[in-house]
Chain A
Amino acid sequence: GIQVEQSPPDLILQEGANSTLRCNFSDSVNNLQWFHQNPWGQLINLFYIPSGTKQNGRLSATTVATERYSLLYISSSQTTDSGVYFCAVADSWGKFQFGAGTQVVVTP
């Protein structure tokens, strides 16, 4: 199956800082999504981004499908951005594989 690697595994940020999270995948995909899991366990879809660039407020994402990676940018981080960020990709059968996640802690 497709291998999904996320980096860094942990990230500590001061409020207001910018950061970049990376997701590498081992094969061609036609579906890539970024999720945020809050401290209570709820997973929220941030972006559906199999290719190209999208922005939503302080978050943006870029996927370069030909080079098999995606980046999630957090700008002007806030304490509410804390949590775990997951990248998930779907193979040709449409079955999703998740990365191990990046644990983000934003300190006041």
Chain B
Amino acid sequence: ETGVTQTPRHLVMGMTNKKSLKCEQHLGHNAMYWYKQSAKKPLELMFVYSLEERVENNSVPSRFSPECPNSSHLFLHLHTLQPEDSALYLCASSQEGTGANVLTFGAGSRLTVL
């Protein structure tokens, strides 16, 4: 496996379900990100784990809960979502503290909330 891997690629869930999105990076990077991409909107940064510190966008609802057990793995736990949470969720990683901090993205997890 190389690069950034996201699973599942597609997820359909009801509003009462609990599910998780998984991201794994094989690049040795020290920062990982969750972005949300809704139709016709810019990418929205949800969470950053950088050098073991979590930074979050204060507008993200508490029904989204991130977990970063180590520098290679990132999860997004989903609970009692709303239909407007349907979107493409993108994971990225980068190497902070270097001269060229380049974002590398996974292929995304497309979420549909019924």
Residues of A that sit less than 8 Å from B by CB: 31, 33, 35, 40-45, 48, 86, 88, 90, 94-101
Q: Which residue of B lies closest to A41 (CB)?
A: B108
Residues from chain A with a CB closer than 8 A to the CB of B37 are: 41
Residue in A86, A88, A96, A99 whose Cβ sees the most chain B Cβ within 10 Å: A96
Q: Given A33, A40, A101, which contacts B103 in the complex, CB threshold below 8 Å?
A: A33
Residues from chain A with a CB closer than 8 A to the CB of B90 are: 41, 43
Residues of B that sit less than 8 Å from A by CB: 33, 37, 41-43, 45, 48, 50, 55, 88, 90, 92, 96, 100-105, 107-108, 110
Residues from chain A with a CB closer than 8 A to the CB of B107 are: 40-42
Residues from chain B with a CB closer than 8 A to the CB of A96 are: 33, 45, 103
Q: A70 to B38, alpha carbons, bound, how many Å? A: 25
Return A69 CB to nearest CB of chain B, in Å: 18
Residues from chain B with a CB closer than 8 A to the CB of A88 are: 43, 103
Residues from chain B with a CB closer than 8 A to the CB of A100 are: 41-42
At the interface, is chain A mostly helix, strand, loop or mixed?
strand
Residues from chain A with a CB closer than 8 A to the CB of B55 are: 95
Q: Given B45, B102, B108, which contacts A45 in the complex, CB threshold below 8 Å?
A: B102
Q: Which residue of A lies closest to B92 (CB)?
A: A43
Q: Once the chains bind, are B102 and A33 in contact (CB under 8 Å)?
A: yes
Q: Which residue of A lies closest to B43 (CB)?
A: A98
Q: Once the chains bind, are A99 and B96 in contact (CB under 8 Å)?
A: no
Q: Once the chains bind, are A99 and B45 in contact (CB under 8 Å)?
A: no
Residues from chain A with a CB closer than 8 A to the CB of B45 are: 95-97
Q: A95 to B102, alpha carbons, bound, how many Å? A: 11
Q: A48 to B42, alpha carbons, bound, how many Å? A: 19
Supposing A41-B110, A94-B50, A98-B42 touch, asked if A31 and B105 sit within 8 A by C-beta, the answer is no
Q: A108 to B54, alpha carbons, bound, how many Å? A: 46
Would you list 14 pairs from A and B whose C-beta atoms are within 8 A, ordered by A residue?
Answer: A35-B105, A41-B37, A42-B108, A43-B90, A43-B105, A44-B105, A45-B105, A86-B43, A94-B96, A94-B101, A95-B48, A96-B33, A98-B42, A100-B41
Residues from chain B with a CB closer than 8 A to the CB of A45 are: 102-105
